[in-house]
Chains A and B, each alone.
Chain A
Amino acid sequence: MSNEAIIFDAVRTPRGRGRKDGALNEVPPIELLATLFRALRERNKLSTGEVDDVIAGCVMPVGDQGADIARSALLYAGWDQSVPGFQINRFCASGLEAVTLAAEKVRSGWSDLVVGGGVESMSRVPMMSDGGPYVGQPLANLDINLVPQGVAADLLATIEGFSRETLDEFSIRSQRLAGKARDSGWFTSVVPVKDRNGMMILEKDEAIRPDVDMAALAKLKVSFQQMAEFGFGAVCLQNWPEVEKIRYLHTPGNSSGIVDGAALVLVGSAAKGKSLGLKARARVVSAAVVGVEPSLMLHGPAPASRQALKKAGMQLSDIDLIECNEAFAAVPLRFMRDMGIDDMDTLNVNGGAIALGHPLGATGAMLVGQAIDELERRGKSTALITLCVGLGMGQALIIERV
């Protein structure tokens, strides 16, 4: 392959609790991204005019996140005015799609150096801020078989027969691992967020609760029963006629946390990296994105991953680490079952979004950085990153250290 897409660097902010009292609530999303643009420039002594394009995933691109946040933020960070930028939305995989697009641009040979990443300040621009046709067009709502993600997650868990305990146990694992990784300093792609005086606003991931136990999780009320009972449960049952009833299993404790954060990944050709003195850390091996049944919605990671593996000519056994986004505990559990993964030695080894939180537009890019950090720490080679996506999609990316 003449135009390998090389990952030179990946940075992310810590994830702040996505509430009014979360540490990053006071930091506008443009500032979250700008923090990372400055960090990329400084860590890599990057002459920013060398960058051909910037892609930022953002799922609620309105209000503080509107008006092409990618181009806005890079200018705000003082990057060279010659660098364009744009914002994309593939829901929860937006950050991964941004990295994928960056890699594709480089592999096409039409770009030499591209930044992909994303941002979501969920405390400032809450979910649903962007409306959408299923708010304004009832028939579209019906024809698309729209259901909220959480109801879909309960449907998935119901179909798979997961118990509340299974989901909670998985969540405890996520909290423990994430806490350990954070406290051991393994999240080396994290760039602290400071104010303009240089005073610390948030240094480390804020949402992790490493000490939470099964008893505490068991007490939490289920989150999506009401929405299901309003009618979305019926939508699921009409689409999945073999399902008798939906069991309400997901809670705030075994679903991904609502957080604020951003991530950027620097991708380019080997030649460009060499000319700029950038250190090659990994190459993008392959990528895939698929659509699946929209009311079950969240089972896309496995078909996407299979497709990515096929494109790469690899087997699952060739993969050293897997990051499967923990949108809901049922998602990675279903993914394991689909892929025939029996043990969890390689999956989400430093926890996932249940502990760390899921800043929608940024998560995919965060997982790329997290995977590279961990591959380097373990001296391993390959990683598969995959996410479930709203409206029934799945996306995957395979990387290999170089």
Chain B
Amino acid sequence: MSEEMRYEKDGEGIVTIIMDMPGRSVNVINVEFGDAFGEMVDRVALDTGVKGVIIASAKKTFVAGAELDFLYKMEKPEETFALVQLMKARQRKLEKLGIPVVAAINGTALGGGWEVALATHHRVAIDDPRIKLGLPEVTLGLLPGDGGVTRMTRMLGLQAAFPFLTEGKQINPKEAKEIGLVDELATDAADMMAKARAWIKANPSSSQSWDRDDFRLPGGAPSSPKVAPALMVAPAMIRKKTQRNYPAPECIAAAMVEGAAVDFDTALRIESRYFSTIATGKVAKNMMSAFWFQLNAIKAGGSRPIGIAPTETKKIGVLGAGLMGHGIAYVTAVSGIEVVLKDMTQEKADAGKAAIAELVGKRVTQGKMARADADAILERITATGEAKDLAGCDLVVEAVFEDRDLKAKVTKEAEAAMDQSGVFASNTSTLPITGLALASSRPEKFIGLHFFSPVHRMDLVEIIVGKKTDEATLAKAFDFVMKIGKTPIVVNDSRGFYTSRVFGTYVLEGLALLSEGQNAQAVESAGLKAGMPMGPLEVGDMVGISLMHHITEQTVKDMEALGQKYDLGPGELLAGRMVKEKGRNGKSAGAGFYDYPKEGGKSLWPETYKLFPPAEVKIPQSEMIDRLLFLQALETVRCRDEGVIKAVADANLGSILGWGFAPWAGGTLQYINSYGLKAFVARSKELAAKYGPRFDPPASLVTMAETGKEFH
């Protein structure tokens, strides 16, 4: 007998299957769950006098989703296919017994959990807006393979099911009731069970609509003139978003539409075939690896110092109420922490707070935040022009201009006023932390907290450990980042840290391609096709060509001061030329590689095409993509070699969340795994021979490839 589920039959012949997996706080779909479910179904089938079945959970959630460990290990499509077909056969057996089957949804039912609920005749859910229902598989590169595609399509129709399947849209029970995915709402668990029992008594025989002769697909069959135009455009809509880097939404659409044209069981089989393709495919492995295993490892404190008790930040000070400063203040206040927002003057600080008020106001208007919550957030923020108001802050984050003297000044000022055992953090994106810490009277309590813009939307915070930063400071910074709902990665002090340094190579390689006379738009298109959120030239504009040039000049100076020579690459030379000869400083100046007219969207500056004579040989897009992605991956390996970044998870998630490195590839290091280390080294050597030593694979990587190792 399985321990995962209990079989309870009452005097009225109603069987309750209680999902209660031992040793876990939640129920998850795995092989044991499936076997237990199969046993339960067999028992119902053999038991005499069963009047109906309720599937319920003894946990706070219904079923949280699938346990990805076993899915991640699936490599053979045949085995994957056999497994899901078996799971589906069990569901089919239950829904075809003829007796009523009800899902009693007491809590969140996601992924495989929602698929269990879909295989019942009637869903009763507790009306709690925190309960999430849906199929988020696609966000991990997967396809709902346990009947989810087929049943959702038949319940909602093709068009209505699209966002739930191809985008992983989640809803609460009330929203689900409105569209018929949930049949009844209950006030609490007792009401839910009572309603489930009542429905069973009122419906002594039951079947699924798709098993009845009069079944018609809601909204119309694929061939219907009402549906056909939408189906024709759907693949193009997917492609617009994915550049064909993500097979899951494509295969989900295929399983939906092809499944709609055939019998239910054939549709399930088609779904299993696509599931097998997707689950064993590289992109799903990459995405599961990054967005599940590695993200969980980070959140479990993988890069937090061991043996330091959890810390709590009670009150923070933010220096500088500009874009970054008020953004940091906003996300901190949202998490319930008190904030002192300080700028040079009260007026400037007030302006920062007003910007926050605008942000929360927008959320209230959109119905995403209650007015009371918005007011509470604003109440937590004190805007001030006085340093003395930092008294009692156990963490101060400075977000003033990138100017060493200014930063030194505010550091001293804040340290004098704040809690003396508190931590001072700099939000610098470029200046080495160890150097900035020179201004501090407590350099062991000095750390870098590199937020990304816009702060309320970017999930990453890069924590930079200076030479003297102690472990307790790192732990506090880490806990703070977690508290405000961001993802922390930990890096050591170095020029550009991790994110700016690696992401800079993307822009520079785009500029190098341009310098070789490649078509400017072709370079941008290659960046997008590679899976980057923007083309390299656009990113260069956004960061600021003048800023990039300024950093290069600073680097040259710093190196010269050390008696070293710094050879400028083609990208750096071009950035200099843009600033000095062309006066094109980037987006904020309204003129970069692009023009930014007041009316209408941006477009490439016509002169961008003419900066260099066109190359005689057009580089194929695939090779441009290799160059753009390889350089970032190689630079990441160099960062690891130099100890700038340690954890593979930090490197991968930092690249995806920090600058949008191709999520399909699972991050800069997972990209190398996925490419295959041997093949990656060989290709790097080819690129180095053609384009220069920046593509030389580091010795560490060559050794890893030779010894069959991967980044884990």
Contacts from A to B (Cβ < 8 Å):
20-21, 25-26, 28, 63-64, 124, 195-199
- Chain B contacts for A64, CB-based, 8 A: 261
- Give the distance to chain A from B664, nearest Cβ to Cβ, in Å: 19
Assess A197 versus B223: contact at CB under 8 Å? Given A21-B263, A26-B266, A26-B270: no
- List the B residue with the shortest CB-CB distance to A19: B263
- Chain B contacts for A124, CB-based, 8 A: 261-262
Question: Could you list 24 examples of A-B contacts with CB < 8 Å?
Answer: A20-B262, A20-B263, A21-B266, A25-B263, A26-B262, A26-B266, A26-B269, A26-B270, A28-B258, A63-B223, A124-B261, A124-B262, A195-B273, A196-B273, A196-B274, A196-B277, A197-B77, A197-B78, A197-B81, A197-B276, A199-B77, A199-B78, A199-B81, A199-B273
Q: Chain B interface: which size bin?
A: 10 to 19
For the complex, give the distance between the alpha carbons of A354 and B43 in Å: 46
- Give the distance to chain A from B223, nearest Cβ to Cβ, in Å: 5
- Chain A contacts for B77, CB-based, 8 A: 197-199
- Give the distance to chain A from B116, nearest Cβ to Cβ, in Å: 25
For the complex, give the distance between the alpha carbons of A195 and B273 in Å: 7
- Chain A contacts for B262, CB-based, 8 A: 20, 25-26, 124
Query: Quick one: CB contact mask for B272-316 with A, threshold 8 Å, 1 for yes?
Result: 011011001000000000000000000000000000000000000
- Chain A contacts for B276, CB-based, 8 A: 197, 199
- Give the distance to chain B from A15, nearest Cβ to Cβ, in Å: 18
- Chain B contacts for A21, CB-based, 8 A: 263, 266
B78 to A20, Cβ gap below 8 A?
A: no
The 4 closest A-B pairs by CB, nearest first: A197-B77, A20-B263, A195-B273, A26-B266
- Give the distance to chain B from A247, nearest Cβ to Cβ, in Å: 35
- Give the distance to chain B from A234, nearest Cβ to Cβ, in Å: 34
- Give the distance to chain B from A376, nearest Cβ to Cβ, in Å: 34
For the complex, give the distance between the alpha carbons of A197 and B273 in Å: 7
For the complex, give the distance between the alpha carbons of A197 and B82 in Å: 13
Looking at A21, A26, A63, A64, the one whose CB has the most chain B CB atoms below 10 A away is A26
For the complex, give the distance between the alpha carbons of A312 and B564 in Å: 88
- List the A residue with the shortest CB-CB distance to B263: A20
For the complex, give the distance between the alpha carbons of A23 and B622 in Å: 38
- Give the distance to chain B from A66, nearest Cβ to Cβ, in Å: 9
- Chain A contacts for B81, CB-based, 8 A: 197, 199
- Give the distance to chain B from A205, nearest Cβ to Cβ, in Å: 20
For the complex, give the distance between the alpha carbons of A87 and B172 in Å: 49
- Chain A contacts for B280, CB-based, 8 A: 197
- Chain A contacts for B270, CB-based, 8 A: 26
- Chain A contacts for B269, CB-based, 8 A: 26
Assess A197 versus B277: contact at CB under 8 Å? Given A26-B269, A26-B270, A28-B258: yes
A20 to B266, Cβ gap below 8 A?
A: yes
- Chain B contacts for A195, CB-based, 8 A: 273
B residues 518-533 near A (Cβ < 8 Å) are: none
- Give the distance to chain B from A206, nearest Cβ to Cβ, in Å: 15
- Give the distance to chain A from B382, nearest Cβ to Cβ, in Å: 60
A26 to B258, Cβ gap below 8 A?
A: yes
For the complex, give the distance between the alpha carbons of A42 and B280 in Å: 25
For the complex, give the distance between the alpha carbons of A25 and B269 in Å: 11
- Chain A contacts for B78, CB-based, 8 A: 197, 199
- Chain B contacts for A20, CB-based, 8 A: 262-263, 266
For the complex, give the distance between the alpha carbons of A197 and B223 in Å: 27
- Give the distance to chain A from B254, nearest Cβ to Cβ, in Å: 10
- List the B residue with the shortest CB-CB distance to A200: B78
Looking at A64, A124, A195, A198, the one whose CB has the most chain B CB atoms below 10 A away is A195
- Chain B contacts for A63, CB-based, 8 A: 223
- Give the distance to chain A from B284, nearest Cβ to Cβ, in Å: 14
- Chain B contacts for A28, CB-based, 8 A: 258, 261
- Give the distance to chain B from A126, nearest Cβ to Cβ, in Å: 12
For the complex, give the distance between the alpha carbons of A355 and B696 in Å: 64
- List the B residue with the shortest CB-CB distance to A22: B266
- List the A residue with the shortest CB-CB distance to B82: A199
Query: Quick one: CB contact mask for B148-169 with A, threshold 8 Å, 1 for yes?
Result: 0000000000000000000000
- Chain B contacts for A197, CB-based, 8 A: 77-78, 81, 273, 276-277, 280
- Chain A contacts for B274, CB-based, 8 A: 196
For the complex, give the distance between the alpha carbons of A20 and B77 in Å: 24
- List the A residue with the shortest CB-CB distance to B81: A199
For the complex, give the distance between the alpha carbons of A64 and B266 in Å: 17
For the complex, give the distance between the alpha carbons of A206 and B277 in Å: 26
For the complex, give the distance between the alpha carbons of A28 and B258 in Å: 8
B266 to A25, Cβ gap below 8 A?
A: yes
- List the A residue with the shortest CB-CB distance to B276: A197
- Chain A contacts for B223, CB-based, 8 A: 63
- Give the distance to chain A from B274, nearest Cβ to Cβ, in Å: 8
For the complex, give the distance between the alpha carbons of A26 and B277 in Å: 16
B residues 74-100 near A (Cβ < 8 Å) are: 77-78, 81
For the complex, give the distance between the alpha carbons of A63 and B223 in Å: 6
Query: Quick one: CB contact mask for B255-271 with A, threshold 8 Å, 1 for yes?
Result: 00010011100100110
For the complex, give the distance between the alpha carbons of A321 and B276 in Å: 45
- Give the distance to chain A from B235, nearest Cβ to Cβ, in Å: 12
- List the A residue with the shortest CB-CB distance to B258: A28
- Chain B contacts for A25, CB-based, 8 A: 262-263, 266
- List the B residue with the shortest CB-CB distance to A196: B277
- Chain B contacts for A198, CB-based, 8 A: 77
B residues 552-588 near A (Cβ < 8 Å) are: none
- Give the distance to chain A from B153, nearest Cβ to Cβ, in Å: 15
- Chain A contacts for B266, CB-based, 8 A: 20-21, 25-26
